[in-house]
Amino acid sequence: MRKNSDLEGHLREVRDIADLGLDMSDGCRLSIRAWIPADAEARPVPAIVEHLPYRKRDGTTARDEISHPWMAARGYAVLRVDMRGNGDSHGLMEDEYTQQELDDAVEIINWAASQPWCTGNVGMQGISWGGFNGLQVAAMAPEPLKAIITLCSTVDRFADDIHYKGGCLLNENLAWSSTMWAYSSRPPDPALRDDWRDLWMTRLEHEPFLISTWLRHQKRDAYWEHGSICEDYRAIEAKVLALSGWADGYKNTVPALVDNIEGAKGILGPWVHLYPHIAVPEPRIGFLQEAKRWWDRWLKGEETGVEEDPAMRMYLMEGHAPSRINQPKEGIWIADAQTGGAMRSLALGAGGRLGGAATEISVPVASDATCGLGGSEYYAIGRGPELSGDQRVDDLHSAVWTGDTLESAVDIVGQPKLTLRLSADTQQGQIAVRLNHVHPDGQSTRITYGVLNLAHRDSHAAPEPMEPGRFYDVEVVLDQIAYRVPQGHRIAVAVSTAYWPLIWPAPERTALTITQGALDLPERAAATAEEWRFEPPDGAEGWQTEELRSPENIRRETHDLATGEVTLVIEDDFGKRRDLVHGLVSGGVSRERWTIRPDDPLSARAETHWTQETEREGLILRTETYAQMSSDAQDFHLSARIEAYENDILVYERDVADKIARDHQ
């Protein structure tokens, strides 16, 4: 069990500096919100940096207000930086994780270490974007950076981010580029900048439509190698604590870091893409207390016992019925020195049987283009019904192998793999593999999944088309998981040739023939009791706001009986609120439509529309962004539009259009 440190001690009075300006070496002014102990110049403290594009004034404020004052009161200077081109900072942002972004972070770290209120030791923390750049900055090894805490991040920007999972084009490319098209188009707070309007117009004029860049790199080239720390784990000297959740898209990073960086520790819970002390599905943990133990050891030199913590602490989820809602998950915390259990091989047998002797089979698979509607969003974030549903809806379009009824529970801990011998009737094809938990009443819960672009079967850097009719041996690696399948239930594996709307479809409907296969299942000795306990969640008071419009989340599928089109509609109204301290009003709405016909992968199209609202006395500022994507057999077709309104008058508009050749996609 963990060692308890003195989590409270003497709480220090904290100064909250809303707009600390830092002039970078190239003259660009960055804006920092800083929480610093009031007596820090007399009693210096370590600094913790979080470097993000998501607007500290009205974007990440809710989580910042819970977390950063709490940590500052316990003897840390917490610096929440708006990246250049975002929020209240000057400059322009060209792309994600540019060298400029990382160089800025190094300069901020060195500046913080030199301040009279700082001891010279610095940590870096962040979730998602901030977790990514924390790892990337650590690989640059600035001398003051002694430790990082990275959450929901990746070591491989090509194959384990929102871009090309298993070499397949994730539709999150359009969704996320649309998000940033909207997020970064917003103005600074007019109360903080006399030149806010000039900054806004310049920002709008240069706002990049990022999917155009990403689609120009459909192979794992130097563009993706930049920022992928898996290229050289040895570059990271800082101490690494990594966290993520089973319902998040970035769960594979935690064991990758533990396996490859000496002394790294990992925590994986049941959560979506959120900090563990505010996350769903519950149970939550005392993340701030765990972070304090980490910082106290590596930034203050205190003995907190973190070195003796198990390499991996994971929430073993008890088998549960399928549900798209973020309901609490039953389970127990397990603690291991390894990142996974021992592999057991289960053959894909005749008659759809999983297990038994390996045998030659001949199983055809040719899925409708709508297969995948039972899946989840790529990374769930706690909004509405976003998790995977009953898998029987996708099993109808898949080849399925089901195991015998379990005589005892099986704890699946690690990364399953499916090897297949197959042939295809097209040069370009895809495989989606789902590991499912089949209940006695027939319900089917997705445990984990993986996808593979068959042209990328041997290499993401040098893909090759399939030769129709030729047989190939391929391996599909599924995402990490810790899940218990109960006694009396069954395990199944399903294979399909489409997984919409997670991945963009291949240009032709592919028919596969599978003649051999085996599932390697990581099984851990059954846990009989809780092996670890975390402190309960804690935090500061939180963001004080007046709600002006309530949040609302909509997920619905529509089936056009005349055309055969199936459309998934996702609408997230984030609500609208007024900050009770400084008065800024903020709100937003995102809308997505994903449409396809079952018989035609080239019918796929996607549309997004974002509204972002910023208001202050006498000013009503709004941006509207739109994006569309479609394809033919040769090219991807993109279009986007951005509009800006001041007091409901259109003050800026811009359209972009692009056509990009498909490259083994």
* Of 311, 336, 361, the domain-final residue: 336
| Shared domain check, 195 and 66 | yes
If DSSP codes are grouped into helix, strand and coil, which group holds residue 308?
helix
**Whole-number average pLDDT of the chain:** 96
- Residue pLDDT, tens place only, 616-652: 999 999 999 999 999 999 999 999 999 999 999 999 9
Same domain, 332 and 434: no
Q: Which of 374, 405, 326 is nearest to 494 (CA)?
A: 374
N-terminal to C-terminal alpha carbon distance within the chain: 48
- Model pLDDT for residues 31-90, shown as the tens digit of each residue: 999 999 999 999 999 999 999 999 999 999 999 999 999 999 999 999 999 999 999 999
Interaxial angle between packed helices 99-113 and 129-140, expressed in degrees from 0 to 180 and rounded to the nearest 10: 70
Encode pLDDT of 168-213 as tens digits. Answer: 999 999 999 999 999 999 999 999 999 999 999 999 999 999 999 9
Task: Give residue 13's pLDDT band: very low, low, confident or very high (50, 70, 90).
Answer: very high
Tell me the percentage of the chain whose pLDDT exceeds 70. 99
| pLDDT band at residue 9 using 50, 70 and 90 as cut-offs | low
Does residue 448 share a domain with residue 354?
yes
Q: Are the C-beta atoms of residues 187 and 195 closer than 8 Å to each other?
A: no
Residue 3 pLDDT > 80: no
The reply to whether 472 falls in a domain is yes
Q: Which of 22-31, 285-294, 372-381, 439-448 has the lowest mean pLDDT?
A: 372-381
The two structure tokens encoding residue 82: 């708006």
Task: Report the alpha-carbon distance of residue 196 to residue 619 in Å, rounded.
Answer: 12
Question: Which CATH number is 232's domain given?
Answer: 3.40.50.1820
Question: Residue 472 forms beta bridges with which residues?
Answer: 422
Residue 343's region, left for phi above 0, alpha for psi from -120 to 50, else beta, is beta
Alpha-carbon dihedral sign for residues 34, 35, 41, 44:
negative
- 6 has pLDDT over 70: no
Asked if the structure places residue 530 within a domain, the reply is no
Residue-wise burial string across 539-556, b where 16 or more C-beta atoms lie within 10 A, e elsewhere: bbeebebeeeeebeeebe
Kindly state the tokens that stand for 248: 């998040």
Question: Do 241 and 359 belong to one domain?
Answer: no
Domain boundary among 291, 319, 336: 336
Residue 297 per-residue DSSP state: H
Examine the domain organization and report whether 110 and 24 are in the same domain.
yes
Please check whether residue 341 is in contact with residue 521, taking contact to mean a CB–CB distance below 8 angstroms. no
**Residue 532 falls inside a structural domain:** no
pTM, two decimal places: 0.97
pLDDT at 202: 97
Q: How many CB atoms lie within 10 A of CB 559?
A: 11
Give the pLDDT confidence score for residue 379 in this predicted structure: 86
Cα gap 154→143, rounded to integer Å: 23
Per DSSP, what are the bridge partners of residue 45? 118
Shared domain for 509 and 626, answered yes or no, is no
Q: b or e along 592-611 (b: 16 or more beta carbons within 10 Å of the residue's beta carbon)?
A: bbbbbbbeebbbbbbbbbbb
Average pLDDT (123-145) is 98
Answer yes or no: do 423 and 408 share one domain: yes
For residue 445, is it within any domain? yes
Give me the count of residues in the chain: 665
Same domain flag for 479 and 423? yes
Q: Is 47 helix (H, G, I), strand (E, B) or coil?
A: strand
Asked, for residue 59, whether it belongs to a domain, the answer is yes
Strands 77-82 and 29-37: antiparallel
Q: Provide φ and ψ at 289, rounded to 5°.
A: -65, -40
Number of domains the chain contains: 3
Q: What is the pLDDT of residues 341-370, one digit of tens each?
A: 999 999 999 999 999 888 999 999 999 999
Cβ neighbours of residue 518 closer than 8 Å, sequence gap 6 or more: 345, 346, 347, 348, 358, 418, 419
- Judge whether 378 and 451 are in contact, CB under 8 Å: no
- The domain that holds 365 is classified in CATH as 2.60.120.260
- HEC states along 600-657? EEEEEEEEEEEEEEEEECCEEEEEEEEEEEEECCCEEEEEEEEEEEECCEEEEEEEEE
Over residues 455-512, the pLDDT tens digits come to 999 999 999 999 999 999 999 999 999 999 999 999 999 999 999 999 999 999 999 9
Residue-level pLDDT at 5: 36
* CA triple 277-281-287, angle to 5 deg: 15
CB 381 within 8 A of CB 247: no
537 is a domain residue: no
Considering only CA atoms, give the Rg of the chain: 25
- Helix (H) or strand (E) holding 291, with range, is helix 287-300
Write down the H helix ranges in 114-263: 129-140, 172-183, 196-206, 211-214, 222-225, 253-260
In a domain, 96, yes or no: yes
Q: What is the residue range of 389's domain?
A: 342-524
Q: Which of 524, 556, 572 is the endpoint of a domain?
A: 524
**Is position 1 within any domain?**
no
Tell me: do 46 and 168 sit in the same domain: yes
DSSP-derived 3-state class of residue 549: strand
Shared-domain flag, residues 502 and 554:
no
580 & 554 share domain: yes
Residue type, 583: G
pLDDT digits (tens, 9 = 90+) for 90-127: 999 999 999 999 999 999 999 999 999 999 999 999 99
Same domain? For 306 and 396 the reply is no
Confidence at 7, pLDDT banded by 50, 70, 90: very low
